[in-house]
A and B are shown apart, each in its own frame.
Chain A
Amino acid sequence: MISIFSTLRIALRALWVKKMRSALTMLGIIIGVSAVIIMLAVGTGVSRKISSQISSIGSNLIIIMPGSTTQGGVRMGGGSQSTLTTGDAEAILRECSAVAAVAPMQFGTAQVVFGNQNWSTGIQGTTPGILEVKDCGLSAGRNMSDQDIRSATKVCLLGQTVVDNLFGSMDPLGQVIRIRKIPFTVIGVLESKGQSLGGQDQDDTIIVPLSTAQKKLFGRTIPGMVRSIMVKARSSEELSVAERQITDLLRQRHRIGPNREDDFTVMNLTQVLEMAEQTANTFALLLGAIASVSLVVGGIGIMNIMLVSVTERTREIGIRMAVGAKTWDIRIQFIVEALTLSMIGGITGIIIGGTASFILSNVFEIPSVVSLPSVLLAFCFSGLVGIFFGFYPAYKASLLNPIDALRFE
C-alpha cells in the first residue's frame, strides 16, 4: 500500500475539487457530532447540578415526618398527625448510634419588619444542631446556643435573601427585627446555598430557637410537639442503618404494636436526590443516543456521496489500476476520503458543540458541561462512521475491472 501521506494528499485534493459537495456532506456529520456533544453536555450539567444540590441540602440527610391521621374514613395526609416531640429528637440523638446530629423543626410563615422595610419569609424554629444537619455554615455572627433553647431567647439567624431585603448593604448583626411584631436580635447570617432543586430559594429563611418559636411565634401548637425532625447520619453507608434504628426507636417510643402501621414517615432525602441524579444521567444518555441517530444519518450521506464519487471517477480508478494500483490502494484511497470527510466534520462538530454548550451555560444559564469522554466519544464515533460508510463505496471501486473502468464514459 502506498504511504498514508500520499493517500491523504490525494483525498484532500479530491475533496477540494468538489468543495460545495464536500462541505454539505460534512454538514451532516457536523450536525450529528455537535448534537451529541450538546446533549451530553446538558445531561452532564444537569446531573452535576443535582449533585451540588445534594451537598447543599446536607449530605446523609433523613427527614422524619408525622404520619397521616384518619378521621371517619377521611385520610388527612402526611404530617396531619402531631406525633413527634422534642423528646423523640433527643432520644434519637442519644440512642441511635448511626446518627450524627438532630434538629427538631417547627416552621411557619411570618411577616418580618426592620425599620421601614418588611418581608414575608419562612421561619424555622429548631435547635443548634440544624447547622450540622444541613451542612450549613455562618457567614457572620454565631449559632444559637443550648442556653437560647432552654430560655427561649428572642434571637435569630437570617438567610442571605432576608438580609438583602431588609438591610440592603447594612450589617445586620446585633440589629433587632420584628417577627410578628415580636422583637428578635440578629445573632448570625447563614451562608448562601442558592436555589433548591424545586427552584426554591434556600436563603429566604429565618432560624429561631425551637422553644421561642413554639411559645412565642406559633403559640397554638401543642407544647413539645414538632412538625418534623431532621437527622444527619454519620456516613452514607450508615444511612439505612440510621433509618432502621430511628424506625425501631420511634415505634417503641410511640408504643406501636407489631402489626400496626407507623404513625410517622422516615424519608431519606439523599436517596431521593441520588435517584434524581441517576434519572438525569439516564436522560443524558438517552438524548445522546437520539443525537447519535443524526450522526448515523450523516454517515449515510457520506456513503451516498462516496458512491456518486466512485461512479464519476471510474476512469480515474481505471487509470490508477492500469499503472499498477492494487485492490487495497484503491480501497484505502476511498476510505481515507470518507474518513477525512467524517473527521473534519467531527472536529468541526466538536468545536461547534463545545461553543454552543458554552453559550448555553453562560448566556442562557442552562447547566452544561462538555466532558472529555463525550468529546472522545464523538471523535471516535465520527471516525467509525467514516470507515463504516466509506468501506462499501471503496470496496465497490476496488472491484472494478480495469479495462471497463478505463473505457467508462
Chain B
Amino acid sequence: MTLIETRQLVKTYDVGDEGVHALENVSVKIDKGEFVAIMGPSGSGKSTFMNIIGCLDQPTAGDYFLDGQTISGLSRDDLAAIRNQKIGFVFQGFNLLSRTSALENVELPLLYNHVPARQRKEESLKALKMLGLEERAYHHPNQLSGGQQQRVAIARALVNQAPILMADEPTGNLDTKTSIEIMELLVQLNRDSGTTIILVTHEPDIADFSKRIIRFVDGHVVSDEEVQKS
C-alpha cells in the first residue's frame, strides 16, 4: 500500500535574481512499512525532499499524496495537524526544548493533539519506558547524553502513534557506538511496529541499516535500489 507518493515535485529557492532548483521533477513512491534511506552529497536536495514529504515545507510545483490525501494547497493549520498525527521527526540536533523535562518534551505532540493531561503523562512515560529512559523522565536535555537526547526525540516522534518517522541525520551528532544503538532501535521499530521510516543521511554505514536507498544528486533522483543484506 502506497503511503507516500510524489509526482514531478519541484522546489525552487529564490536567491538573488535567479532561482536555485533544489528539486527537479522528483517522483517517488514509498509503501507502508518501508525503511528508506535518502542519500546524497550536501546540496543534493535530500533534506529539501524530506522537509516537503514531512509537510514542513511546500513544493513549488508537482503533487504530493500522503496516505491517499493530496497535500498541495493545504493550509498551515491542516499541515500542522498532519505533522501532528502522521509524522514523527527526529533531527540531527535533537531539537528538544531546553529547560523542559524529557517527559514534557515527549508530551508536546499530545499537547497539541488535545490529549488530557493525565493521559498525556501516561502515554509519554510509556514511550520513554520503551526506549529505556523511564528513569530519566524528569531530567532536562542538558542533563542527558547525546544518545539519550536522541532517544527522547524518538520517543516524542512515536508517542502520537504516527505511522511515519522521519529522521534527518539522526546520528550526525553521535559517536559510532551510540549511532549503531540508535540505528538498531530504528530497525527494531520498523520491524516490530511496522513504522515507516524515512532516513536522510550521507553516511553509507548508516544507510545500510535500511532496506531501500534513494540517491539524490543536484535535485534529481539518480538511483533507487533495495539494500542487499549480506
- Residues of chain A whose beta carbon lies under 8 Å from any beta carbon of chain B: 2-3, 5-6, 13, 17, 315-316, 318-327, 329, 401-403, 406
Contacts and interface: CB of A to CB of B under 8 A. Distances in A.
Interface string B134-169: 000000000000000000000010001000000000
Nearest to A328: B77
A5 B111 CA distance: 11
Contact of B114 (A2, A17, A316, A323): A2
B99 interface: yes
A329 B112 contact: yes
Contact of B95 (A3, A17, A401, A406): A406
Contacts of A401: 57
A323 B99 contact: no
25 contacts: A3-B114, A5-B117, A6-B117, A13-B99, A319-B96, A319-B97, A320-B112, A321-B80, A321-B83, A322-B83, A322-B95, A323-B108, A323-B109, A323-B112, A323-B156, A324-B85, A324-B112, A324-B160, A325-B112, A326-B76, A326-B77, A327-B80, A402-B57, A403-B51, A406-B56
B8 interface: no
Contact of B81 (A2, A316, A324): A324
A14 to B, nearest CB: 9
A403 B77 contact: no
A324 B56 contact: no
Given A322-B83, A326-B112, A315 B77 contact: no
Given A319-B108, A321-B83, 10 more contacts: A2-B111, A5-B117, A6-B117, A319-B96, A321-B80, A322-B56, A322-B83, A324-B84, A327-B76, A329-B112
Contacts of B57: 401-403
A76 to B, nearest CB: 84
B100 interface: yes
Chain A contact residues: over half helix, strand or loop, or mixed?
Answer: helix
Contacts of A323: 83-84, 89, 108-109, 112, 156
B149 to A, nearest CB: 13
A402 B83 CA distance: 11
A56 B109 CA distance: 70
A324 B109 contact: yes
Given A315-B95, A402-B56, A403-B51, A327 B77 contact: yes
Contact size class for B? Answer: 20 to 34
A326 B80 contact: yes
Interface string B69-90: 0000000110011011100010
Contacts of A6: 111, 117
A326 B81 contact: yes
A263 B72 CA distance: 94
B91 interface: yes
Nearest to A402: B56
Interface string B106-129: 001101111001000000000000
Contacts of A324: 80-81, 83-85, 109, 112-113, 160
Contacts of B114: 2-3
Contacts of A320: 108, 112
A403 B156 CA distance: 18
Contacts of B100: 13
Nearest to B81: A324
Interface string B44-80: 0000000100001100000000000000000011001
Nearest to A329: B112
A388 B164 CA distance: 40
Given A322-B89, A327-B76, A403-B56, A17 B99 contact: yes
A325 B117 contact: no
